[in-house]
């Protein structure tokens, strides 16, 4: 049995999509964790029948959260719209076993403060002709690490940030579970 921890701070549509993708795979189990106790992702977890829990930012920073992941024998960590920085000790415990998705073609439109709609607003404001997704392992900088997968989508001159968000989410739903499946098959 491989145990996957999904960390999410917000709506959690990717978390739900990932859980659904693996629902017939009996050798993989999920637990969803959020740093926001009222995040919609926890409602989704409840509805999906997936174990879930919230934690405090201080517990991430002081190692309490990491101790919990170790005690629960977590094998792999998926960041699906998770907005806090991962502490160095966690990177040491899970080398190349923490994967993040970012809704742009990194290194463009990454870094602290660049998340969700802010990314798509910046892409449209800059008149970019394409955007996309980046799936990458984590190092100790925001939105950096080794790129595992990238793919693009055209941005039309008439596209609003919401249009770009929609197109990018479609890419996320299609590719993120497949990339996770490939990564955990190599554990």
Residues in touch with ligand GAR (CB under 6 A) = 8, 10-14, 80-81, 101-103, 115-116, 119, 143, 169, 172
Residue 154 CB, nearest approach to ligand GAR (Å)? 18
Residue 22 CB, nearest approach to ligand GAR (Å)? 16
Q: Which residue's CB is nearer to ligand GAR, number 101 or number 183?
A: 101
Q: Of 102, 120, 136, 166, which is the active-site residue?
A: 102
Residue nearest to ligand GAR (CB): 81
β-sheet with 76-79: strand ranges across: 52-54, 28-34, 2-7, 76-79, 98-102, 130-137, 147-154
- Asked whether the beta carbons of 149 and 176 are under 8 A apart, the reply is no
Based on the residue annotation, tell me whether 136 is a catalytic residue of this protein.
no
Q: Which residue's CB is nearer to ligand GAR, number 63 or number 116?
A: 116
Residue 102 CB, nearest approach to ligand GAR (Å)? 5
CA atoms within 13 Å, Cβ hemisphere of 137: 13
Q: Which residue's CB is nearer to ligand GAR, number 8 or number 66?
A: 8
Q: Which residues pair with 31 in a beta bridge?
A: 5
CA distances to 18, 78, 129, 180 from 176, rounded to whole Å, are 8, 10, 23, 6
- Asked whether the beta carbons of 100 and 180 are under 8 A apart, the reply is no
Tell me which residues are annotated as active site: 102
């Amino acid at each position: 049995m491989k145990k996957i921890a999904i960390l999410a701070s917000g709506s959690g549509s990717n978390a739900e999509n990932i859980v659904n993708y693996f629902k017939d795979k009996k050798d993989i189990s999920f637990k969803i964790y959020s740093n926001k106790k009222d995040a919609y992702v926890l409602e989704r977890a409840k509805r999906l029948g997936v174990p879930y829990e919230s934690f405090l930012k201080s517990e991430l920073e002081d190692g309490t959260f990491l101790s919990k992941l170790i005690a629960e024998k977590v094998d792999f960590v998926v960041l699906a719209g998770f907005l806090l920085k991962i502490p160095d000790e966690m990177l040491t415990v899970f080398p190349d076993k923490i994967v993040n998705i970012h809704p742009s073609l990194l290194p463009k439109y990454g870094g602290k403060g660049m998340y969700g709609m802010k990314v798509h607003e910046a892409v449209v404001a800059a008149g970019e002709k394409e955007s996309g997704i980046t799936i990458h392992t984590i190092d100790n900088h925001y939105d950096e690490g080794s790129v595992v997968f990238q793919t693009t989508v055209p941005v039309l001159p008439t596209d609003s940030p919401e249009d770009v968000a929609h197109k990018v989410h479609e890419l996320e739903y299609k590719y993120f579970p497949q990339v996770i499946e490939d990564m955990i098959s190599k554990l």
